[in-house]
Amino acid sequence: MNKPHKARKRFGQNFLQDSHIIHQIVMSIDPMPDDHLVEIGPGQGAITQPLLDSQCRLDVVELDRDLVDRLNTQFSHLDRFTLHSADALSFDFAALKKDKPLRIIGNLPYNISTPLLFHLLSQAAHIQDMHFMLQKEIVNRLEAQLGSKQFGRLSIMIQLHCQVEALFDVEPECFNPQPKVMSSIVRLTPHAAPPYAIDNMPLFERIVRSAFSQRRKTIRNTLKGICNDEVFQATQIDPTSRAEALSINDFVNLSNHLKYE
């Protein structure tokens, strides 16, 4: 018998221990035998085992070498299981793809969730869907719409690439050790066809980042040096607005208009 694993804070380890919630998560994912799943941060296998029960193919990416050894002992006899001892932040997910797009799953370490989401979005063409446990506050920002306080750069960049569905909340008591915050499960489904035609993505990202860099300032101020009053006039966007009053479409219009300056 292995010694019990001591949770490491620096790896963002909060292990799921509530069988009802684990069941609810696996039901939401609804894995099929011919699915190709990838689990990020399997930890002690709380979700890994029930996922494998569906007979799916499963790759897992785990950073903590102690846990890698345990997972190997537990699951490596299955040839549909592959363990990658690696950092998900720099992992090449697209390289795992065989014939079907990947389904990504993870009870993610909260300290790396935003950079990890951006890393995965860069490979969205190879992904069927993603189910993540995140801090509830992050899920609120992912799904926030124009007019809401949480609407910002994260909402825009995620909604450009994915449909966002907040599924349900998970109480701190469901984990060991318990996180200090409420968590939520979210489903992200990359759009089959891009809903917005953006001519120059780096320029678009620059505008969104600058506009939200100081939320209380007007966009005339935050976008100084990028957009002048003629651009605002041509796109019919009020330069005295704040970033949170602009729709995704407004940002698309601004950046596409600039390209033709």
Interface ranges with ligand SAH (CB under 6 A): 11-16, 40-44, 46-47, 61-64, 67, 87-89, 107, 109, 112
Residue nearest to ligand SAH (CB): 41
Residue with smaller CB distance to ligand SAH, 130 or 223: 130
Using the structure block, give the residue that is written with the tokens 């124009």. Answer: 146
Report how far residue 47's alpha carbon sits from residue 65's, in angstroms, rounded to the nearest whole number.
19
For residue 175, the minimal CB distance to ligand SAH (Å) is 7
CA atoms within 13 A on the CB side of 236: 2
For residue 90, the minimal CB distance to ligand SAH (Å) is 8
For residue 29, the minimal CB distance to ligand SAH (Å) is 13
For residue 190, the minimal CB distance to ligand SAH (Å) is 21
The set of residues, in sequence order, having a beta carbon less than 8 Å from that of 49 and lying 6+ positions away, is none
The set of residues, in sequence order, having a beta carbon less than 8 Å from that of 39 and lying 6+ positions away, is 47, 48, 51, 58, 59, 60, 61, 104, 105, 106
Report how far residue 38's alpha carbon sits from residue 170's, in angstroms, rounded to the nearest whole number.
22
Report how far residue 204's alpha carbon sits from residue 121's, in angstroms, rounded to the nearest whole number.
16
For residue 30, the minimal CB distance to ligand SAH (Å) is 18
Residue with smaller CB distance to ligand SAH, 17 or 256: 17
Residue with smaller CB distance to ligand SAH, 12 or 101: 12
Report how far residue 213's alpha carbon sits from residue 203's, in angstroms, rounded to the nearest whole number.
15
Residue with smaller CB distance to ligand SAH, 9 or 215: 9
Residue with smaller CB distance to ligand SAH, 112 or 160: 112
